[in-house]
Chain A
Amino acid sequence: MNTLLRNLRELRRYPSAILGLTIIGLLIVLSIYAVIAIPYSEAIRLWRGGPGVWDELPRNASPAWFDLFTGKSLSRTIVVDSRTEGTRTREPLGDGNVRERLILALDFRYDTFPTEMSLFSTATYETKRSKLTATWVKPDGTRVALASGRSIRSSDTYYISLDNQLRDRLPQMAAPEVALFGEFGASSPKGEWKTQPGTYELVLEADMPEAYTLESKLVVYGSVYGIAGTDNQRRDITVALLWGAPLALLFGLLAALGANTATFVLAGIGTWFGGFMDSAFQRLTQLTLLLPLLPILIMVGQLYGRSIWLILAVVILLNVFSGAYLTYRAMFLQAKEAPYIEAARAYGARHRRMIFRYLLPRIVPVLLPTFVLVVPQFVFLEASLAVLGLGDPILPTWGKLIYDARAADALYKGYYYWVLEPAILLMVTGFGFALVGFALDRIFNPRLRTM
């Protein structure tokens, strides 16, 4: 044990190992933060999405720090809710009805246009419908009628960007979010739209019985969001990036620990008893080498279920008799001949004591580098399955981000961040473990040290 600790202390002499340990440390901190900041059930609910969860986030928005590279101020999402902002006036019409007027004002000072506009309204009507009239007022006072006499129920969503009738009325038939926030300059021969900074107003008017009220929320979706951007379902990618860390670490470490320990112990037992058991284990190792493991895993994922825990169990099972078995076996064969083993045999120690107290501990130092080196393999295995569409159906992982991005042709459409963020995290994780593993390998295999 002391040698083990002394050897571990030697890691300090390898700068690459320190870099690797730092990476692993940061990943652990990130994982802990993820689990605390977004509890498990919350993460799953958020990632499942559905109505109401991500309504206020833009679709396919780049990370907000893209500003730094473009030198422009990219549009952010602006939400104006009549419950907290805006002015409200009620004007009695005399017949028991009132004309309710909401003015939602917003300040827009970005260089790029919004990507979408939507108006979410809720009213306390029960049976009666009411007519809503919406007017857009630009900073220079120009008024654009958006909708007139839109019949709304108790809850209504007006997708302004998708209003084709509005589009037909707008200059150049430009998209509403462009025409409403910009001015058409004829500076270049073809002419182009430029954003018009200033304060915009959305004026809403609805007639309704006196007892009722209207609440409206205008969402002007930006082109950037948060530190990681969003995907095509408006989900904040940060959720999956954060939660991917503990899941990747857990899967990688558990699989490596499970498979490696099992291989190690079985190699010890097989070598100790020798004979039939040893040769049976060797045959099993050959069998495993010949079995197409990933195809089998895919089949299991499709036929039996895709839960990450089931896959973990199958991965461990399929890797028990891996190539490492032969390496361990060779070492145990050597260790078995050591004089102290012979001494223990002479005083009649039991098999169990011999294997677990004398034989296995001797080789533990060699286990360590192998263990650290296979972790990335399993992390990437989980990602591979996810990229093939066989990831855990409810958990947000890095591999699933890549799968979603590929399914949505993210690279083709230029949403590089969507692929790069999880890919870089995966790579950093793999790199961290590999750096430590290589350093450990050099420390524990002295033959390599002189090289």
Chain B
Amino acid sequence: MKSLLAVGRYLIVRTLMVGITLVVGCYLIVIIMNMGGKLDDVRRAEIRSNVASAIFLDPSNRGIPADALKVMVDELAELEYERLGLDRPFFPWRSLEYLFTALSLKLGTAEQLTSDTGSRSVARILSERLPATLVLFGTSNLLLFFLAIQFALFLSRRYGSLVDRTMVGLAPLSSAPGWFYGIFLILIFAAVLRVLPWGGLVQVPPPDTAPAYALSLLEHMILPVLAITIGALFANVYRWRTFFLIYSSEDYVELAKAKGLSARGIQRRYIMRPTLPTIITSLMLILIGTWQGQIILETVFNWPGLGRQYLAAVNLNDTPVILGTLVIYGYLLAGTLLLLEFIYALVDPRVRVGGGKV
């Protein structure tokens, strides 16, 4: 009971901290985005030119003198500024309002972009893209995690062997990010061998039946997943192998060996157990890293996810979509962190006792 309380307290404190950090982070993003009012000027100019072209091109306005038309443009633009809330000062109200609408995910309507179904709603635009990002991100990170753990354990058992030395020698390969290997993979498998697709989510046109769709999706996922994995695998295998080695030279492991426990049992109970918290922390950093690389990976592979949507929004200065994507990224990162904190609380005995760093 007491340990449950400790875990609960730990988790509540963590959630609060991550929550506060998220709010501060979002506010920071809102401020950077406004770039000292310059963005407002850009948007005003855009609105004005749209209004002006609408009025000057309207055939029913023909014959009205240019001066009168100018007045009309001014009035209409003013109305439009008011509609978009550009007439009020940025600090503090408009910025806080942006922050609040962003955090509550009431994202409003996009200025330029539309969803595939033609909707202007930011929520719809983003929710259309989210699954594609999550499926790629989830698969590749799970694969990465289990592969890295298995490899690291395997190598720590065969310390000094040829496989071990090869893997250690390959560790510097991880200095290049996933997208970089993506380019090589596309070159080999799509351009030269022509066996795997160049990119995209599914083939064009999309298959009608669900199994065919899934199969096509899988085929398109091979290269990006492989790219992410290669980009991060070697360094993590190297790092975790070292952890395992350090822990497998502890006295209690020697004792367990002397007692004649099975190698598998020793590995699970005496090596994995104490290293788990450290491994979870390092997994957290990997996850953050892959999130960061998502945009460019999606661009390289033409993957219709959040990242590519974000790039499109940035190029069009579509503020609501930019803000929405950044906030969703923030939520996803925070969610991932909290999930790991939760696992951490389960596996780290220090948390249960209540004496850990909180």
Tell me the A residues contacting B by CB distance below 8 Å.
16, 20, 283, 286-287, 289-296, 298-300, 302-304, 323, 373, 376-377, 380, 383-384, 387-388, 402, 406, 411-412, 414, 416, 419-420, 423, 426-427, 430-431, 433-435, 437-438, 447-448, 451
Q: List 12 A-B contacts (CB under 8 A).
A: A287-B21, A289-B288, A292-B333, A295-B310, A299-B32, A302-B317, A303-B39, A384-B293, A412-B198, A416-B187, A434-B173, A451-B245
Q: What's the Cα separation between A295 and B306 when bound, in Å?
A: 11
Contact partners of B171 in chain A: CB under 8 A: 434, 438
Q: Do B295 and A388 touch across chains, with their CB atoms under 8 A apart?
A: yes
The listed residue (A300, A414, A433) touching B175 by CB distance below 8 A is A433
Any A CB within 8 A of the CB of B47: no
Find residues 313-329 in chain B having any chain A CB closer than 8 Å to their own CB: 314-315, 317, 322, 325-326, 329
Known: A290-B330, A302-B315. A283 touches B21 (CB 8 A): yes
What is the minimal beta-carbon distance from B255 to any residue of chain A, in angstroms?
20
Tell me the B residues contacting A by CB distance below 8 Å.
17-18, 21-22, 24-25, 28-29, 32-33, 35, 38-39, 159, 169, 171-177, 179-180, 183-184, 186-187, 190-192, 198, 242, 245-246, 285, 288, 291-293, 295-296, 299-300, 310-311, 314-315, 317, 322, 325-326, 329-330, 333-334, 337
Q: A291-B28, A302-B315 are in contact. List 20 more A-B contacts (CB 8 A).
A: A286-B18, A290-B330, A291-B25, A292-B326, A296-B326, A299-B314, A299-B326, A303-B33, A303-B35, A383-B180, A384-B179, A387-B296, A387-B300, A411-B198, A412-B198, A419-B187, A423-B184, A433-B175, A434-B173, A448-B242
Known: A302-B314, A414-B191, A451-B246. A380 touches B177 (CB 8 A): yes
Q: Do B18 and A290 touch across chains, with their CB atoms under 8 A apart?
A: yes
Q: What's the Cα separation between A322 and B330 when bound, in Å?
A: 16
Q: Do B187 and A411 touch across chains, with their CB atoms under 8 A apart?
A: yes
Residue of A nearest to B293 (CB): A294
Number of A-B contacts defined by CB within 8 Å: 131
Known: A290-B337, A299-B32, A412-B198. A388 touches B176 (CB 8 A): no
Known: A430-B176, A451-B159. A290 touches B326 (CB 8 A): no
Q: Do A294 and B175 touch across chains, with their CB atoms under 8 A apart?
A: no
Contact partners of A430 in chain B: CB under 8 A: 172, 175-176
Q: Do A290 and B333 touch across chains, with their CB atoms under 8 A apart?
A: yes
Contact partners of B191 in chain A: CB under 8 A: 411-412, 414, 416
What is the minimal beta-carbon distance from B64 to any residue of chain A, in angstroms?
37
Contact partners of A373 in chain B: CB under 8 A: 175
Contact partners of B330 in chain A: CB under 8 A: 290-292
Q: Do A289 and B179 touch across chains, with their CB atoms under 8 A apart?
A: no
Q: What's the Cα separation between A388 and B308 when bound, in Å?
A: 10
Contact partners of A20 in chain B: CB under 8 A: 172
- Interface of A, helix, strand, loop or mixed by DSSP: helix
What is the minimal beta-carbon distance from B152 to any residue of chain A, in angstroms?
12
Q: Do A388 and B21 touch across chains, with their CB atoms under 8 A apart?
A: no
What is the minimal beta-carbon distance from B279 to any residue of chain A, in angstroms?
15
Residue of B nearest to A429 (CB): B175
What is the minimal beta-carbon distance from A219 to any residue of chain B, in angstroms?
31
Centre residue among B173, B191, B300, B333 by max chain A CB count within 10 A: B191
The listed residue (B22, B39, B314) touching A298 by CB distance below 8 A is B314
Q: Do A411 and B175 touch across chains, with their CB atoms under 8 A apart?
A: no
Q: Do B180 and A426 touch across chains, with their CB atoms under 8 A apart?
A: yes
Q: Do B175 and A287 touch across chains, with their CB atoms under 8 A apart?
A: no
Q: Do A296 and B39 touch across chains, with their CB atoms under 8 A apart?
A: no
Residue of B nearest to A439 (CB): B172
Q: Do A438 and B172 touch across chains, with their CB atoms under 8 A apart?
A: yes
Known: A295-B326, A300-B32, A411-B191. A434 touches B175 (CB 8 A): yes
Contact partners of B322 in chain A: CB under 8 A: 299
Residue of A nearest to B186 (CB): A411
Q: Do B187 and A420 touch across chains, with their CB atoms under 8 A apart?
A: yes
Q: Do B38 and A303 touch across chains, with their CB atoms under 8 A apart?
A: yes
Residue of B nearest to A431 (CB): B172
Q: What's the Cα separation between A380 and B232 when bound, in Å?
A: 14
The listed residue (A289, A384, A423) touching B296 by CB distance below 8 A is A384
Residue of B nearest to A323 (CB): B285
Q: What's the Cα separation between A426 and B219 when bound, in Å?
A: 29
Q: Do A411 and B176 touch across chains, with their CB atoms under 8 A apart?
A: no
Contact partners of A383 in chain B: CB under 8 A: 180
Contact partners of A412 in chain B: CB under 8 A: 191, 198
Q: What's the Cα separation between A20 and B175 when bound, in Å?
A: 13
Q: Do A295 and B300 touch across chains, with their CB atoms under 8 A apart?
A: no
Q: Do B299 and A388 touch across chains, with their CB atoms under 8 A apart?
A: yes
Residue of A nearest to B156 (CB): A451
Q: Do B310 and A427 touch across chains, with their CB atoms under 8 A apart?
A: no
Q: Do B180 and A427 touch across chains, with their CB atoms under 8 A apart?
A: yes
Known: A296-B32, A434-B171, A451-B242. A287 touches B295 (CB 8 A): no
What is the minimal beta-carbon distance from A402 to any residue of chain B, in angstroms?
7
What is the minimal beta-carbon distance from A438 to any residue of chain B, in angstroms?
6
What is the minimal beta-carbon distance from A126 to any residue of chain B, in angstroms?
43
Known: A287-B25, A303-B35, A412-B191. A295 touches B329 (CB 8 A): yes
Q: What's the Cα separation between A16 and B238 when bound, in Å?
A: 15
Contact partners of A420 in chain B: CB under 8 A: 187
